[in-house]
Amino acid sequence: MNSAPDPIREAVMRQDAELLSRGLRIWIGGEPTFTLRSSQEPAWLCEAEGSDKEERARALLVALMPRLSPRCALFRSAGRRYPGEEHPRFCYGAYFRRNGAPTWDGPPDPLLAPPSNNSPCGPDELRDALSAELRVQGADPQAFAGPKGEPRLAYGRTLKVLAEHESLCMRLSPHLKDKSAPAFDEAAGKGVFVFSFSAEPYLAVELPGFPLVRDLLIALRALSAAANRLELPSLVLGGFSPPVDESVAWLTVTPDPGVVEVNLAPAPDLATFWDWTGAVFAAAEATGLSAERFRFNGQAADSGGGGQLTFGGPSPAESPFVLFPHVLTGLVRAVDRHPSLSYWFSTECLGGASQGPRPDEGVRERFEELAVALDRLDLCQAGPDLLWGSLAPLLVDCAGNPHRAEINIEKLWNPGLPGRGRLGLVELRALRMQPVPERQVAIAALFRALLARLATDPLRAPLVEWGSELHDRFALPLLLQADLREVLTDLSDHGLGLGVLEALLLEPPQPVAHVECGQASLEISPALEFWPLLGDVASQETQGARLVDSSAARIQLCVSAPDGDPGTVAVQGWAVPLQAFDDRRSFAGVRYRAFAPQPGLHPGLESHDPLLLTWARGNEGVSIALHGWIPGGGPYSGLPEDAAEAARRRADRVVVQRGPRQSAAREVPLHYRTQYCVDLRRLPALRGAI
């Protein structure tokens, strides 16, 4: 499906072979998200539905299905329905066998092959034809009319339910796309086929919820035979999401605020994950969707929807977290001890208000109790119930929400989520969407290798109390990269090195500016910032996104000098203390106010735009002005058309002048700077005190 470069393919196959030799089966799922980067409509910025999002989602799935498996079944199922929304969100899915055998032999969905003629029959005839096919198989289905007169067919175990609880089978469909749709529940309509014309209109059948893959495949064979006998040109399959096991896969395309989300079926190995990821990226590109967006000033960002990864096994009982409970406790410890696993691949919004905060970014008491829970789990052979019960209350966000946590275990062994809570799954939520599939597979390989290392060599080291150093030190890419190198070295020492994938993982952020002074160079790179929540958590808990103050920004200054002398760097007239990283490089971080937000914190505090830097070595001096927008003012004509145009706009915002060394800068008092960073937002208040 995907013609991977040979070195990457070899690294992928090498990891699969290594895990196989250790008897480890670690499956990988993902949720890549894509946006229409040329659009400023709400549906492509902040809202879940609207504009042409559903049409593009359909087109993405249609382009993807041939790349997955021949004769997939295309289902139009009801998506999630969030509080305050009038109807379930759309959900289009591909249901296919992992061995390549066809899942559906009936007429295609009209999205795949628009019919040239209308249906030769109506819903009643299709119901009767399906009933006849099921009777041939020894079943005894029962036909009846629904509450709106639509033909329905009760099948299998539902016959007993129909006799004892007729109201259950007569309920309105939870899949209706209007205000009359009842709240979606797992019981409504199970075991009942509903026949109708879709909105296009085409003949459609709403499938019941089947508990077993075998039962659904039998029903699909009967339905396809009935539809073929009636010579239907097309048929829409809808209803409940299909069941899955190790033999079949279920991939969906759904909406989320600002993006289309592809919920990948779990891949049994890294090679399959690589193939599917490449196929999804190619299908998205063919549909005009992108994994990244560019702002008006050329700043590059991800799609906005995240790039979460999920790990588990071929079945809940065969999950590595169930077979080896110490894998989960080791993962919690490893991520705590190596913040690069949290931040190097993170989304733009970081910290306690983010969609995936670390345990030590939340309530202090929870982090203390987490250490107790991990120690106690180390002393026993914890089953999945104890594992989930011990960690679920602690792996949460600042509101106590287990879904919005960096290590999300709500589907590990959760009795509170019937049907989908005990799946043996762990999701990593603090991952941004990557611009290319190669980096996406490299990140999956990293965390899969880490889980394999933890399975064979348990990690029981104590949690690290990072304190303020967590956000001060690990905001800087130079130090994050060094931390990630330690992780990669440890994996290599355990026989799980990633080969050429390591270069993809260690790739630093694109510098904002790079200037030279003699034989030395100054590189200015974007660093991480941790945005605070505006207001309280409770009032924002039901919203799709939380309101944060994103006006703070941070940069990293790194001077490379052969003689080890970095010279003097000043920002806004304040000398920035540099510290040595190695024999050649010195570095520091600088925080500043990128813009004045409305609403936001610190009313009256002006923005540092442009941000003015000077660098002096010997008698030479360089002045650098970093502008947030067009130097001198004026609007951009529109969004950048492509990456090259975005890069030009970024370059135009950097103005460099050379001249003699300037006058000495003011020194920042010790108690107004941290070990790694100077915060310019605090320094104006010092003018009357120095």
Domain positions in the chain are 48-256, 270-506, 513-686
Q: How large is the angle between the packed helices 326-337 and 437-456, nearest 10 degrees?
A: 120
CA distances from 66 to 59, 244, 343, 547 (A): 12, 20, 36, 41
**What integer pLDDT is reported at residue 148 of this predicted model?**
85
Phi, psi of 79 (to 5 degrees): -85, -165
Q: How far apart are CA 690 and CA 687, in angstroms?
A: 6
Q: How far apart are CA 218 and CA 221, in angstroms?
A: 5
* Average pLDDT across the chain, whole number: 91
Residue 610: asked if its preceding bond is cis (omega within 30°), the reply is: yes
Which has the closest alpha carbon to 435: 290, 581, 570?
Answer: 290
Q: What is the mean pLDDT of residues 98-123?
A: 91
**What integer pLDDT is reported at residue 581 of this predicted model?**
97
336-355: burial string, b at 16+ Cβ within 10 Å, e else = bbbbbbbbbbbbebbbbbbb
Q: What is the mean pLDDT of residues 58-64?
A: 97
**pLDDT tens readout for residues 561-594:** 999 899 999 999 999 999 999 999 999 999 999 9
| pLDDT reading at 400 higher than 90 | no
Give the type of residue at 124: D
CA distances from 362 to 144, 166, 296, 474, 538 (A): 55, 49, 34, 17, 15
Report residue 222's pLDDT band, with 50, 70 and 90 as the boundaries.
Answer: very high
DSSP state of 63: H
Q: How far apart are CA 31 and CA 384, in angstroms?
A: 25
Q: Higher-confidence residue: 146 or 334?
A: 334
Interacting residues of 390 by C-beta distance below 8 A, sequence separation 6+ = 373, 376, 377, 382
Interacting residues of 63 by C-beta distance below 8 A, sequence separation 6+ = 282, 283, 286, 287
Report residue 160's pLDDT band, with 50, 70 and 90 as the boundaries.
Answer: low
Report residue 165's pLDDT band, with 50, 70 and 90 as the boundaries.
Answer: low
Q: What is the mean pLDDT of residues 421-427?
A: 95
Q: Is 558 helix (H, G, I), strand (E, B) or coil?
A: strand
Q: How far apart are CA 235 and CA 237, in angstroms?
A: 6
**What integer pLDDT is reported at residue 157 of this predicted model?**
59
Q: How far apart are CA 505 and CA 344, in angstroms?
A: 9
SS3 string, 75-107, reads: EEEECCCCCCCCCCCEEEEEEEECCCCCCCCCC
Q: What is the mean pLDDT of residues 40-52?
A: 95
**What integer pLDDT is reported at residue 240 of this predicted model?**
87
Give the type of residue at 1: M
Specify whether the CB–CB gap between 271 and 16 falls below 8 A. Answer: yes
Other beta carbons within 10 angstroms of residue 276's beta carbon come to 27
**What integer pLDDT is reported at residue 159 of this predicted model?**
53
Q: How far apart are CA 681 and CA 675, in angstroms?
A: 17
| pLDDT reading at 2 higher than 60 | no
Phi, psi of 456 (to 5 degrees): -95, -20
**What integer pLDDT is reported at residue 264 of this predicted model?**
96
Q: Higher-confidence residue: 296 or 352?
A: 296
Q: Say which residue the tokens 């990669």 belong to.
A: 488
| pLDDT reading at 30 higher than 90 | yes
Q: Higher-confidence residue: 395 or 418?
A: 395
Q: Is 180 left (phi over 0), alpha (psi -120 to 50) or beta?
A: alpha
| Side-chain-side CA neighbours of residue 488 (13 Å) | 19
Report residue 146's pLDDT band, with 50, 70 and 90 as the boundaries.
Answer: confident
Report residue 539's pLDDT band, with 50, 70 and 90 as the boundaries.
Answer: low
| pLDDT reading at 188 higher than 60 | no
Q: Is 48 helix (H, G, I), strand (E, B) or coil?
A: coil
| pLDDT reading at 688 higher than 50 | no
Name the token pair of 435.
């611009």
Q: How far apart are CA 62 and CA 12, in angstroms?
A: 27
**What integer pLDDT is reported at residue 422 of this predicted model?**
94
**What integer pLDDT is reported at residue 168 of this predicted model?**
62
**pLDDT tens readout for residues 263-312:** 999 999 999 999 999 999 999 999 999 999 999 999 999 999 999 999 99
Report residue 402's pLDDT band, with 50, 70 and 90 as the boundaries.
Answer: confident
**pLDDT tens readout for residues 435-490:** 999 999 999 999 999 999 999 999 999 999 999 999 999 999 999 999 999 999 99
Q: How far apart are CA 32 and CA 34, in angstroms?
A: 7
Q: Tell me what percent of the residues of the chain surpass a pLDDT of 90.
A: 76
Q: What is the mean pLDDT of residues 154-179?
A: 63
| pLDDT reading at 252 higher than 70 | yes
Name the token pair of 264.
């990948």
Name the token pair of 563.
């003689």
Q: Higher-confidence residue: 444 or 349?
A: 444
**Range in 134-148, 595-609, 676-690 the model is least confident about:** 676-690
CA distances from 663 to 298, 574, 578, 614 (A): 33, 11, 18, 10
| pLDDT reading at 676 higher than 60 | yes
**pLDDT tens readout for residues 313-323:** 999 999 999 99
Report residue 185's pLDDT band, with 50, 70 and 90 as the boundaries.
Answer: very low
| pLDDT reading at 684 higher than 80 | no
**What integer pLDDT is reported at residue 531 of this predicted model?**
92
| pLDDT reading at 195 higher than 90 | yes
CA distances from 88 to 165, 179, 305, 326, 659 (A): 26, 10, 19, 38, 63
| pLDDT reading at 636 higher than 60 | yes
Report residue 637's pLDDT band, with 50, 70 and 90 as the boundaries.
Answer: very high
| pLDDT reading at 77 higher than 50 | yes
Report residue 631's pLDDT band, with 50, 70 and 90 as the boundaries.
Answer: very high
Q: What is the mean pLDDT of residues 196-203?
A: 86
Q: Tell me what percent of the residues of the chain surpass a pLDDT of 70.
A: 92
**What integer pLDDT is reported at residue 172 of this predicted model?**
73
Q: How far apart are CA 340 and CA 439, in angstroms?
A: 16
- The pTM for the full model equals 0.93
**pLDDT tens readout for residues 492-530:** 999 999 999 999 999 999 999 999 998 999 999 999 999
CA distances from 197 to 51, 177, 683 (A): 24, 14, 68
Q: Is 655 helix (H, G, I), strand (E, B) or coil?
A: strand
Q: How far apart are CA 87 and CA 77, in angstroms?
A: 13
Q: Say which residue the tokens 């910025």 belong to.
A: 45
Q: DSSP letters of 494-522? A: TT---TTHHHHHHPPPPPSEEEEETTEEE
